[in-house]
Chain A
Amino acid sequence: MNVAAGMVQVAGIALAPLLPGSIQTLKARLQGRRGPSVLQPYRTLWRLWHKSAVDPQGTGVIYRSAPPVVAACLLAALAIVPVAGRSGSFGLGNDALVLVGVLALARFVLAAASWDTGNGFALMACARELMISVFGEALLVLALLVAALPAHSTDLLAMSAAAAGGHIWSEPTHWCGLIAFVLVILVETGRQPIDNPDTHLELTMIHEGPLLEYAGRDLAFLQWVGAARHWVILVLGAELFLPHWGGFAVSVGQLALVVCLLCGALALIETEQAKMRILRVPALLGVGCAIALAGAGMWIGGIGV
């Protein structure tokens, strides 16, 4: 089974672009447009792969090596996040906090690349992303704490197993964790109301900003990284906070269904919500932290239904 789970994790490399693709399509439908096909991200990657790169004046090794390094971080993250409660034996372990560290490494490398270009827009976006990540990381770790409580472990396999079945849903703690993690999803995938992935105005970019100077295969890597972040965080959410039960095959089916539903939910939120003022984002994430802490308190205090 570990081999099968490992294969699904590796398949995530190829499947990840489906997630932003399907969100874009669903969003267009919800807004009464026909919109691009679900496969549009693949076409974009194909197109970028055949274009030449751009080296802004004065950039050096950091700018050039950032796209492969960041992509490697996300590949490692794919190997750490289990699917359907199982994980292939990649030898990296499955620790939740190591995952946080690997994502932080990717963020740092991209920030360094932005500084290497010295581009005003890239750095503005980068400063904002890092500012939001301060609150986002506290929220993420608290949400992981909530998920670790029933498992007594930060091993993602144990956490996924502890969240399986129906009885966890009678715990208010689990609901609190779910709410907190929805906010984590919005932060990490760069979706509205925190960031607008469709923006073409440089001044409003957050996640897209550091990509501004890249072209060709470099940009293809970074576009894939954006999709892989969707995969990592949505699969993690499905494993830790959304319903799953039964054997491996059933669980993989459930995982696919739940991730599709999450994409639908993101499309719905993006249709309904305008982007919020960036200085108000920390307050929203602070509320998320309070909810997660309250959830943890309820579990430890033994308050349940």
Chain B
Amino acid sequence: MAVLDWGALAGVTMLAFGGALGATGRGLRAGLAVQAEGMMILGVVGVAVLTGGDVLGAGFRSSVGLAFGLDPLSGFFLAVLALTAVPTLIFARDYLPGSHGARALAALTAAFLLSLVGVLAARDVIGFLGFWELMTLVPATAILVSRRDREVRSAVYAYLAITHLGGAGVWIALLALAYHGAIGDPAALAAAGAGAQTLVAVAALVGFGTKAGFIPLHAWLPRAHPVAPAHLSALMSGMMIKVALYGLIRVEFQWLGGTPQLLGLALLAIGLISSLGGVLWALVQHELKRLLAYHSIENVGIIALGLGASLLFAHAGNSTWAAIAFAAALLHVANHAIFKTLLFLGAGALQRATNSLDLDHLGGLLRRMPWTGGAFLIGCMAIAGLPPLNGFASEWLVLQSLLHVALHQPLGVALASGVALAGLAATAALALLCFAKVVGLVLLGQPRRAECEAAVDPPVGMVVGMSLLALMCIALGLLPGLVLPTLAGLAPGANGSVLARHAGLILPGTGSYLPLPLALALAALTAALIGLRGKRRAAPAPSWACGQPVVAELGWSSAGFTKSLRLVLEAVLRPRREIEVVQSGGMVQSVTYEGHVPSLLDTSVYEPTVRAGLRTAAVARRLQSGNVRTYAGYLLGLVIGLLVLVYAGVLG
């Protein structure tokens, strides 16, 4: 154990040292390398704790006083953090130099990673809440260091405002837990009664849910994630929201002292709304990073569906499937962290090469940037949930979990999970539609601008970072069964060896998903068919446009490809169009068209709330007239009021 203790210390020290070294400017690349090595050591420690099943350092305590330690659940999240952070840091080594505020960003990257590690390793309330707040504030600072225009300031303000309002739930939940002495001790909260349990459960759901990006508390996410520098967007979308899920799992699954059915149903509902809503608004975005940010909401929703199914099974006493559903959610945590990091890094590389992230301004980049394009393509296929990549493995598991809830549970619960099942199937198809669009507009077809024509692959470090992540997508996709039993062992109430270890996913009540044979079969069959097709005799020809010349202006756009879906779902999406026709002398001089799809919750919840808040503030401001006589009047009124209260015997 001593080795692991020292390893964790060394990892954290190297992170801090790497940050300081990066801040010096000349040691920027060396500093990032040291950070990467530190994260690698921490990842190894995480894996060792996860597989060893032992506890490192302190245990959880309700008393005040900093304490740090790791248990298998923390170890899992730490390992995932390392898996995404190491390639990200390798990417940043070639991405950061030359960008605005590079030195500060290198230091802030280390601070951000340290705060993420701190949340995972904290074993007391003060440490947890302290690192939790740092985890929110450091990326906000980093965003403001890199860009300072009005749009960014407003995005950061919305991010801080919403995460702090919602984040109050985290404070309430954890302080209530500490008050009852229930941190790390589920029996204590159960003894405190149903009221305390409900308070903690709801407060944690709101608090951690805000930070994880559950709809309707998600509004900050698509604003803040796209404006950060690429490697920080990747860490925010890939890991920060996962650390929020770590907190949610800690409180709701480990410390609540019960498995309430209502909480399971609530998670199903939240998961369904988040996954469908996230992917729907992702579809109508035209900016790549904003689209990816909305997909984070979708994937957090899928994880919530898995967690909800797990709670429902646990409530019904079906410990095998409770463990499988829990493992499904955790596997999706890892998978989403990996492919979302890959996609955000890819977006950063594409932006560097073409100076644009507008989907309608890219195109033809697979051929011009084969390494970036290839890795990005793999990431797109993984997030679209296509076999044999990793996204499909975990989505298959979540689908199976929901389906088995419907098979084994009483009517009401079963129907709820049936609806969630249909919703998840539709989500998967929508994600496919969305990423078919992204792949088509970004990687395939003709370049839509001169910059795309001249684009080339970025420096080797960026390519290596993305390729590592793409390889992880493939490896986890082909061998998900190797990690599944370990993850199932983390489920509360799991009794040691729930599942046997196979390469594929061989589960009771399913027909088994065997990705490795499937991938081999698809590859062999494709090769055989290409051989069968023989030597290709192909005539070059223009694309068919009914005999008209093919012009780039008539190519399909992001909005065009989703038009039919927008029409079908007009009632939900409520697209807005503004058409302006300038006429003079009976002739149309110019037509300007602008169409966009605002987020339904922005227009129906957030905007009215903000308006009401501003109105209230305007009323309150009238009290502050600035006139001395008015304030004297207030004082007089206060004194008279107090005297009346004393006379009435209310005070003293």
Please give the residue numbers on chain A whose beta carbons come within 8 Å of chain B beta carbons, in ascending order. Answer: 52-58, 60, 62, 64-65, 67-69, 71-73, 75-76, 79, 90-98, 100-102, 104-105, 107-108, 111-112, 114-121, 123-124, 126-128, 130-131, 133-142, 145, 148-149, 152-158, 202, 212-213, 216-218, 221, 278-279, 282, 289, 293, 296-297, 300-301
Residues A114 and B440 in contact, CB atoms below 8 Å apart: yes
Residues B539 and A54 in contact, CB atoms below 8 Å apart: yes
* B371 close to A (CB within 8 Å): no
CA distance A60 to B534 in the complex (A): 18
Which of A108, A138, A141 is in CB contact (< 8 Å) with B432? Answer: A108
Residues B406 and A296 in contact, CB atoms below 8 Å apart: yes
* Between-chain CB contacts (< 8 Å), 26 pairs: A53-B537, A54-B540, A56-B544, A58-B445, A58-B446, A67-B529, A72-B525, A90-B521, A92-B518, A93-B511, A97-B403, A104-B385, A108-B386, A115-B439, A117-B445, A118-B543, A118-B556, A123-B560, A127-B562, A137-B425, A137-B428, A154-B403, A202-B546, A216-B537, A279-B567, A282-B568
Please give the residue numbers on chain B whose beta carbons come within 8 Å of chain A beta carbons, in ascending order. Answer: 364, 366-367, 381, 384-387, 392, 396, 399-400, 403, 406-407, 409-411, 414-415, 418-419, 421-423, 425-426, 428-430, 432-433, 435-436, 439-441, 444-446, 504, 509-514, 517-518, 521-522, 525-526, 529-530, 533-534, 536-546, 550, 554-556, 560-565, 567-568
Residues B530 and A65 in contact, CB atoms below 8 Å apart: yes
CA distance A102 to B519 in the complex (A): 11
Residues A68 and B385 in contact, CB atoms below 8 Å apart: no
The 6 closest A-B pairs by CB, nearest first: A115-B440, A95-B511, A155-B511, A72-B525, A68-B529, A141-B425
CA distance A98 to B522 in the complex (A): 13
Residues B399 and A141 in contact, CB atoms below 8 Å apart: yes
Whether A156 touches B511, Cβ cut-off 8 Å, given contacts A68-B529, A102-B387, A127-B561, is yes
Closest residue of A by beta carbon distance from B522: A72
Residues A153 and B537 in contact, CB atoms below 8 Å apart: no
Interface majority SS (helix, strand, loop, mixed), chain B: helix
Residues A97 and B400 in contact, CB atoms below 8 Å apart: yes
The listed residue with most B CB atoms (<10 A of its CB), out of A107, A119, A135, A202, is A119
CA distance A4 to B406 in the complex (A): 35
A92 to chain B, nearest CB (A): 6
Closest residue of B by beta carbon distance from A118: B445
B157 to chain A, nearest CB (A): 36
**In the complex, chain B residues whose CB is within 8 Å of the CB of A96:** 511
Residues A296 and B543 in contact, CB atoms below 8 Å apart: no
Whether A64 touches B536, Cβ cut-off 8 Å, given contacts A127-B561, A130-B433, A300-B415, is yes
Residues B436 and A134 in contact, CB atoms below 8 Å apart: no
The listed residue with most B CB atoms (<10 A of its CB), out of A71, A112, A139, is A112
Q: A52-B539, A55-B539, A62-B366 are in contact. List 5 more A-B contacts (CB 8 A).
A: A52-B537, A60-B367, A97-B400, A98-B387, A133-B433
**In the complex, chain A residues whose CB is within 8 Å of the CB of B514:** 91-93
Residues B426 and A138 in contact, CB atoms below 8 Å apart: yes
Closest residue of A by beta carbon distance from B517: A91
Closest residue of B by beta carbon distance from A111: B436
CA distance A66 to B556 in the complex (A): 20
CA distance A107 to B401 in the complex (A): 25
B509 to chain A, nearest CB (A): 5
B530 to chain A, nearest CB (A): 5
CA distance A217 to B537 in the complex (A): 10
Residues A95 and B512 in contact, CB atoms below 8 Å apart: yes
Residues A141 and B421 in contact, CB atoms below 8 Å apart: yes
CA distance A293 to B425 in the complex (A): 14
CA distance A94 to B514 in the complex (A): 10
**In the complex, chain A residues whose CB is within 8 Å of the CB of B537:** 52-53, 216
Residues A145 and B561 in contact, CB atoms below 8 Å apart: no
B334 to chain A, nearest CB (A): 19
Which of A75, A79, A98, A114 is in CB contact (< 8 Å) with B396? Answer: A98
A201 to chain B, nearest CB (A): 11
**In the complex, chain B residues whose CB is within 8 Å of the CB of A101:** 385-387, 392, 396
CA distance A107 to B428 in the complex (A): 12
Residues B564 and A71 in contact, CB atoms below 8 Å apart: no
CA distance A158 to B555 in the complex (A): 48
**In the complex, chain A residues whose CB is within 8 Å of the CB of B567:** 279
B271 to chain A, nearest CB (A): 15
Residues A65 and B538 in contact, CB atoms below 8 Å apart: no
Residues A293 and B422 in contact, CB atoms below 8 Å apart: yes
Residues B439 and A73 in contact, CB atoms below 8 Å apart: no
Closest residue of A by beta carbon distance from B407: A152
Whether A134 touches B430, Cβ cut-off 8 Å, given contacts A53-B539, A141-B422, A142-B421, is yes
**In the complex, chain A residues whose CB is within 8 Å of the CB of B387:** 98, 101-102, 105
**In the complex, chain A residues whose CB is within 8 Å of the CB of B441:** 115
Closest residue of B by beta carbon distance from A74: B525
Whether A221 touches B533, Cβ cut-off 8 Å, given contacts A279-B568, A293-B415, is yes
B383 to chain A, nearest CB (A): 12
Which of A71, A76, A289, A300 is in CB contact (< 8 Å) with B410? Answer: A300
CA distance A196 to B47 in the complex (A): 55
CA distance A6 to B413 in the complex (A): 39
CA distance A137 to B384 in the complex (A): 14
**In the complex, chain B residues whose CB is within 8 Å of the CB of A293:** 415, 418-419, 422
Whether A120 touches B545, Cβ cut-off 8 Å, given contacts A126-B436, A142-B421, is yes
**In the complex, chain B residues whose CB is within 8 Å of the CB of A62:** 366, 444
Residues A138 and B415 in contact, CB atoms below 8 Å apart: no
Residues A69 and B418 in contact, CB atoms below 8 Å apart: no
CA distance A131 to B536 in the complex (A): 33
**In the complex, chain B residues whose CB is within 8 Å of the CB of A112:** 436, 439-440, 444
